[in-house]
Amino acid sequence: MEQNIFSNISDMLKAYYPIIYLTTFEYDKTKQQIRGLIKHLPIPYEYFEWNIIDGLSKKSISSSAIEKFDSKEDPEEVLSFISDQTTNDTPQVFVLEDFHEFMAETNVKVRLRQLAERLRYHRKHILIVSSVLNLPIELEKYINVIDLPLPNRKDLDKVLQSVVDNAHTTLTDAERKKLIDAALGMTVMEADLAFCLAAVKDKLQEDSPKIVAQEKQQIIKKSGLLEFCQVSEKLDNVGGICYLKEWLEKRKLAYDFKAQLWNLPEPKGILLLGIPGCGKSLTAKCISALWSMPLLRLDIGKVFQGIVGSSEENIRRAISTAEVVAPCVLWIDEIEKGLSGSRFSGATDGGTTSRIFSTILTWMQEKTRPVFVVATANDISSLPPELLRKGRFDEIFFVDLPNKEDRKSIFDIHLKKKGFNPDELYTDKLAELSKGFNGAEIEEAVNEAMFSAYTENPDMPKLMVKNLMDAIKDIVPLSSTMDEQIKALRTWAKKRAKMAGLENEEQLSGLETLLLTKTEKELNRNFDI
């Protein structure tokens, strides 16, 4: 893929493209590749590099010769120098590092726009290399943007081999694959350091993939956007949602080698909506365990934090990292909180939310990498209707309050986790008494009952049915405090979503309240999405 990108850059140079903006964290590697493609162009080029510290220098393509230009540290001065070069016919490439820092200045913007108009008639090209995409709207029509991907398996294999040679060891193909898998999503420098650490700590032996993975987790955490989630739960530990479990088991087959040869499409993702505490987040975590994929959690709220103009860059980086780590599960928790204001974004935040929303929608529709998106939502009325259109998600599942059978299953799961025998605690009766409870409330009832039992007899605590019954009576379930909202959500889901489990007939009477999406409210009418 990377080779194709640089081949495209080569074609753009041949086609007189004046200014190209390359986003990457791999500065040295990118400059090396640019020099390589210039060397293979049919006509000879002069090559220049600039940064704010070293200023402007001319570097030979075929040797180590360097010619430094004095008094060319100022951004305007270097642009003026480039402009003066249009008087000669020598083909030239100018690489400007981190030039995005100065592009907001009026003089720089005007200079760049003028250069874009002039350079396209000469063999003069400006390549801006930066880790941040910060392109003023005035220059959007004059500058082409190319995202350079993070290292692929082939690149990481070269880095690993260098460390293996220095460590004077050998690796089997299986060991090599595990280490490379663990390093996916890292830059070349990050991967090199992680492999070196594994060589120091474990001599690249059995525990080395874990060491590399731990380093990657630290790197992802520092971004504040994506985090690796360690999953210990299994889908069997989620009560109810029988239809969703069946759907996931079928879609798991799409990742088999034979299925890929048959061109079976990989699933795009699902939207889990429903009542808080019914296991949506737990289900999202368990999917990665079921499919043996890493789980990445995207905090969409943090995308909007930071300096002005960084939100678009944040979401772009998060998507890029997820694609590199693929196949993986990308979990977007409470997606409605981040995208609820997209329709009025132009009046409230300068269009940032709208652009973020558009980026996510486009990527979900057109992504080619096996990134399975699991989005959870509690408030459907805050979601833009465009998100719910077919093509973004494979299915929209509604996770309802558990029925009596599901509640018994949930009691059994939590009691077994605590080391108790459910058959001795009459979970059938407990399921009947806990009508209207969600999964979180059932777990809380078990915990509260254990506290009561321990308080009664700390020396020889014994959990009794009475402890559980008293705990159930003391809990006011969410279904009571949010009765109208839950009824409304059920009404909406009955027509527009697929049930994750068996219908809860206990709660489906008297549905008068209608829940509308934001657009439906504005139009004062109800329509299917």
Distance CA 274, CA 398 (A): 5
Q: What is the mean pLDDT of residues 77-99?
A: 95
Asked if the model's pLDDT at residue 483 lies above 90, the reply is no
The residue ranking higher by pLDDT, 62 or 307, is 62
Indicate the SS3 state at residue 262: coil
Q: pLDDT confidence of 305, banded at 50, 70, 90? A: low
Q: What is the pLDDT of residues 33-66, one digit of tens each?
A: 999 999 999 999 999 999 999 999 999 988 888 9
Q: Of the segments 309-313, 395-399, 516-520, which one has the largest average pLDDT value? A: 395-399
Domain boundaries, the chain: 2-147, 153-223, 235-399, 404-435+439-476
What is 235-399's CATH topology?
Rossmann fold (3.40.50)
d(CA 500, CA 245): 8
Residue 462 has pLDDT above 90, yes or no: yes
Q: Using pLDDT thresholds of 50, 70 and 90, give the confidence band for residue 528.
A: very low
Percent of the chain with pLDDT over 70: 91
Whole-angstrom Cα distance, residue 201 to residue 32? 32
Residue 403 has pLDDT above 50, yes or no: yes
pLDDT at 199: 94
What mean pLDDT do residues 365-392 have?
82
> Which residues neighbour 227 within 8 Å (Cβ) at sequence distance 6 or greater?
217, 220, 221, 296, 297, 299
> Would the pLDDT of 346 be above 90?
no
Tell me yes or no: is domain 404-435+439-476 CATH 1.10.3470: no
Residue 484 class from Cβ within 10 Å (0-12 exposed, 13-18 middle, 19+ buried)?
exposed
Which string of DSSP letters, residue by residue, matches 50-90? Answer: EETTTEEEEE-SSSS-EEEETT--SHHHHHHHHHHGGGS--
pLDDT averaged over the chain? 85
Q: List pLDDT tens digits, range 466-480.
A: 999 999 999 989 888
Residue 309 is predicted with a pLDDT of 52
- The letter for the amino acid at 201 is K
**What token pair was written down for 271?**
């939207």
pLDDT at 308: 47
Q: What is the DSSP letter of 438?
A: -
Question: Pick the residue with more confidence: 517 or 219?
Answer: 219
* pLDDT for residue 119 is more than 90: yes
Q: Which CATH number fits domain 2-147: 3.40.50.10330, 3.30.70.100, 3.40.50.300, 2.40.50.140?
A: 3.40.50.300
Percent of the chain with pLDDT over 90: 47
CA distance 356 to 473: 45
The answer to whether 96 and 128 have CB atoms below 8 angstroms apart is: yes
One fold for 2-147 and 404-435+439-476? no
Q: Is the pLDDT of residue 101 over 70?
A: yes
**What mean pLDDT do residues 185-196 have?**
91
